[in-house]
Structure 1
Amino acid sequence: MMILEFKAYGKQKQYLAIDEAIRTVKFIRNSCLRYWMDNKGITKYDLNKYSAVLAKQFPFANELNSTARQASAERAWSSIARFFDNCKKKVPGKKGFPRFQKHCRSVEYKQSGWKLSSDKKWIIFSDKKGIGKLKLKGTWDLWRFDKKPIKRVRIVRRADGYYVQFCVSVDIDEKLKPTGNTIGLDVGLKDFYTDSDGNTEPNPRFYRTGEKRLKFYQRRASRKKKGSANRKKAINKLGRTHLKISRQREEHAKRLARCVIRSNDLVAYEDLRVRNLVKNHCIAKSISDAGWYQFRRWLEHFGEKFGRVTVAVNPAYTSQNCSNCGEVVKKSLSTRTHVCKCGCQLDRDHNAAINILDRALGTVGHIGTLVTDQNACREETSILPGSGLVEQVASLKQESPRLMTGECQDVRKHRDHKP
């Protein structure tokens, strides 16, 4: 699956129609969730039938396309199914009981209710909401795809406008020639990562850089009167600033992961649980700003796309063990140099990266299981029991067109590489 995203342009009344369609989606989703709570033994197909019942009871729900109503019911069922899966797997802590949605930002259509123009530069929504004809602006070549491989169309509302996403069923595999290189990566806060060759990538710290500007817009929004037009404008400006930072972080992780994957046949990294790490309030902001999870997801995606091996290694004692003799050398977080009795003296992160690579090479024969969920337009992977090793291919998101052209330079040979 591939997701192509375009900026949508229209008139103000069309934007209001999109907002009304999004509110209808939220209403159907929450109504289906309430229907499941009040009736035992409800299945996915019962929720789809109930969306048709809602269309007969409420005229504003009937104005939305039938496939969009079904997609809204499927959203409710996805949260229910996730709750059941967590209960079966006996996930510790809260199981994620489905909750009513307060904020919704998208409406999704299947293969009806919309039509592309002959030049693929316009899209027309034919339901009774009045969205009508929207102009598409982007760098993807949508004309190469027919309507049949386009499985779903989604309208997304963001702080800087409205976007149209196309979920296209295409084969994205691209095999590369072997390079003969293997690499281990140890992520950190001082440097974004240190590889097993001793090369480092600087941490851009996008949130820290824009934090002063964020605080300015937060103060401005808090001073405005609640419910006023000026407050809405200030909140929108704050949202645009947050959106810019998140896009910078995502694009940085995407470009860097692509370069690493193309330059190496095997990439080993730490199987970190970022959700648990951010519980430490002292470094939670810095960990979130680094974007380790985004980087891992893109490593796994590009590894699947280019036929490379990506291995997630158990990070336990990778910083304490000596990469030369295996002796345990205990050190605190403030100790940045690894010094062993055997004479090995390395940077702490460099030593950890070598240990990560050694662990991956020792158990690289284990292969994970790939499960495809086409309705959600994503791919999930299973975790191998035992040995602390996972070989992953992860969720697929939109790739930047700038990444699709040109050859990527070997990041191992360029320490000052800036994606």
Structure 2
Amino acid sequence: MIIYEFKVKAKPQQYKAIDEAIRTSQFIQNKCLRYWMDNKKVSKYDLNKHCKVLAKEFKFANELNSMARQSAAERAWSSISRFYDNCKKKVKGKKGYPKFKKHCRSVEYKTSGWKLSSNRKAITFSDKKNIGTLKLKGTYDLNYYQLNQIKRVRLVKRADGYYAQFAIQIDLKIESQPTGKAVGLDVGIKYFLADSNGKTIENPQFYRKSEKQLNRANRQKSKKYKKGAKPQSNNYHKARNRYARKHLRISRQRKEYAKRVAYCVIHSNDLVAYEDLNVKGMVRNRRLAKSISDVAWSTFRGWLEYFGFKYGKATVAVPPNYTSQNCSNCGEVVKKSLSVRTHVCPHCGYEADRDVNAARNILQKALCTVGHTGTYAWGDTPSGLVGEILLGDGESLSQESPSRD
């Protein structure tokens, strides 16, 4: 399953209709979640049936396509099933109890409620929300695919406009020539990554470099905010949008950089080893949270495993224990703090950059143990992760569909 994304061009009243469809989808999702909270032993099928009850009770809910209502119910069930899984696995700390959506940014249609034009450059939505015909602006060509291959269509609202996403079911695997090489990767803050061959890639620090502009835009937004005023002025909303667009640009830069590096690493090696880091727990460190988020470790790992599955390369996640402390040459433990950036072994005299030493330890672990191959499990993962259900409102699932500024 791949996601193709197009910028949408339409009239102002059509944008308002899209916003109304998004609000209706959010309403149905929250109502399904409330139905699950108030009743025992509710299944996914029960939530789908509850959509029909909501359509009869609320006129604006009936205006949304029936399959779009089911997609909203499936989103609610996705959060519920994730909560159940965390409880069964006895995950430490909070189990992720489902919460009501406050700021939904997308609505998802299945195989009905929309129709592509003959040249595949426009799409028409036929439900009662009056969205009408939208022009599609992008570099992808939908003519290569049959209509029955398009399993989902989503309308996503972002700071710089509206987008249409097409979830297309195709075989991702592509044969590639073996290189006979293996590499271990150690991600960090000083360097974006260091490999077991001694090479390092600098951390671009997109957020840090744009921090002054972000702070300035945030101050301008705050100056135009009037406490207690409902609604806020148009100047406030304009400043708010400028601030959001700057954040959106940084997130796209970070994503594209991680994607390019992952693509190069996968094509240059047959086996790629990396640490199985608990990034969610690491960002709780308030001194390092901003730097860890800026370097996008999880995004990079996701693209590594995606390209690894697509091109038939092995991606192995190994436990991060003692990868920085052990000497990759003799195996002895050499304790060092985070401030020590050079590994010097007093036992064998081996000297190397701290991150390079860790990368070599990671590769050795991957070669001598089975490891954990592919967390995101492209291919046999639940369809919700690869396009069946939109999680994160269209941000995290756009495989090979870079957004354009």
Say yes or no: TM over 0.5: yes
Q: Which moved more, 1:35-44 or 1:153-162?
A: 35-44
Please state if 1:45 is matched with 2:45.
yes
- 1 CA distance for matches of 2:295 and 2:222? 28
RMSD: 1.7
Number of the residue aligned with 2:229:
none
Please state if 1:288 is matched with 2:285.
no
Q: Deviations over 1:59-95 (max 9, x none)?
A: 1111100000111111111111111111111111111
Instruction: Note the C-alpha offset of 1:137.
Output: 0.6
Number of the residue aligned with 1:275:
280
Instruction: Note the C-alpha offset of 1:373.
Output: 2.1
Counterpart secondary structure, 2:277:
coil
Equivalent position amino acid for 1:349 in 2:
D
Equivalent position amino acid for 1:60 in 2:
F
Please state if 1:66 is matched with 2:75.
no
- 2 CA distance for matches of 1:320 and 1:179? 30
Instruction: Note the C-alpha offset of 1:319.
Output: 1.1
Change (3 A) 1:296 1:76: same
- The answer (yes or no) to whether the contact 1:107–1:155 under 8 Å persists in 2 is yes
Counterpart secondary structure, 2:156:
strand
Change (3 A) 1:401 1:249: closer
Counterpart secondary structure, 1:372:
coil
Counterpart secondary structure, 1:294:
helix
Matching residue within 319, 334, 348 for 1:342 = 348
Number of the residue aligned with 1:148:
148
Q: Which moved more, 1:19-28 or 1:221-230?
A: 221-230
Identity %: 65
- The answer (yes or no) to whether the contact 2:4–2:401 under 8 Å persists in 1 is no
Change (3 A) 1:46 1:144: same
Matching residue within 246, 256, 267 for 1:251 = 256
Instruction: Note the C-alpha offset of 1:37.
Output: 1.2
- 2 CA distance for matches of 1:202 and 1:217? 28
Instruction: Note the C-alpha offset of 1:168.
Output: 0.4
Structure 1: unaligned runs, 5 residues or longer: 380-394, 403-419
Equivalent position amino acid for 1:136 in 2:
L
- The answer (yes or no) to whether the contact 1:184–1:357 under 8 Å persists in 2 is yes
Please state if 1:354 is matched with 2:355.
no
- 1 CA distance for matches of 2:373 and 2:256? 29
Number of the residue aligned with 2:162:
162
Equivalent position amino acid for 1:372 in 2:
T
- 2 CA distance for matches of 1:367 and 1:328? 27
- The answer (yes or no) to whether the contact 1:124–1:134 under 8 Å persists in 2 is yes
- The answer (yes or no) to whether the contact 1:140–1:401 under 8 Å persists in 2 is no
Please state if 1:185 is matched with 2:185.
yes
Equivalent position amino acid for 1:28 in 2:
I
- 2 CA distance for matches of 1:155 and 1:400? 15
Instruction: Note the C-alpha offset of 1:334.
Output: 1.3
Q: Which moved more, 1:104-113 or 1:175-184?
A: 175-184
- 1 CA distance for matches of 2:289 and 2:199? 25
- The answer (yes or no) to whether the contact 2:5–2:401 under 8 Å persists in 1 is no
Structure 2: unaligned runs, 5 residues or longer: 227-231, 389-395
- The answer (yes or no) to whether the contact 2:305–2:374 under 8 Å persists in 1 is no
Counterpart secondary structure, 1:95:
coil
Number of the residue aligned with 1:239:
244
- 2 CA distance for matches of 1:233 and 1:368? 43
- 1 CA distance for matches of 2:168 and 2:257? 25
Number of the residue aligned with 1:212:
212
Number of the residue aligned with 2:235:
230
- 2 CA distance for matches of 1:243 and 1:401? 12
- The answer (yes or no) to whether the contact 2:325–2:333 under 8 Å persists in 1 is yes
Equivalent position amino acid for 1:218 in 2:
N
- 2 CA distance for matches of 1:223 and 1:30? 34
Mapping of residues 3-402 of structure 1, within 5 Å: 3-226=3-226, 227-340=232-345, 341-364=347-370, 370=377, 371-377=380-386, 397-400=398-401
- 2 CA distance for matches of 1:273 and 1:365? 16
Q: How many residues align?
A: 387
Instruction: Note the C-alpha offset of 1:225.
Output: 3.3
Change (3 A) 1:63 1:43: same
Counterpart secondary structure, 1:269:
strand
Structure with more contact order per residue of length (Cα contacts < 8 Å, sep ≥ 6): 2
TM-score (norm 2): 0.93
Equivalent position amino acid for 2:381 in 1:
T
Equivalent position amino acid for 1:316 in 2:
N
- 2 CA distance for matches of 1:349 and 1:367? 22
Q: Deviations over 1:310-338 (max 9, x none)?
A: 11111111111111111111111111111
Change (3 A) 1:334 1:313: same
Q: Deviations over 1:96-144 (max 9, x none)?
A: 1111111100000000000000000000000010100000011111111
Counterpart secondary structure, 1:129:
coil
- 2 CA distance for matches of 1:82 and 1:366? 21
- 2 CA distance for matches of 1:253 and 1:368? 17
- The answer (yes or no) to whether the contact 2:10–2:135 under 8 Å persists in 1 is yes
Change (3 A) 1:199 1:376: closer
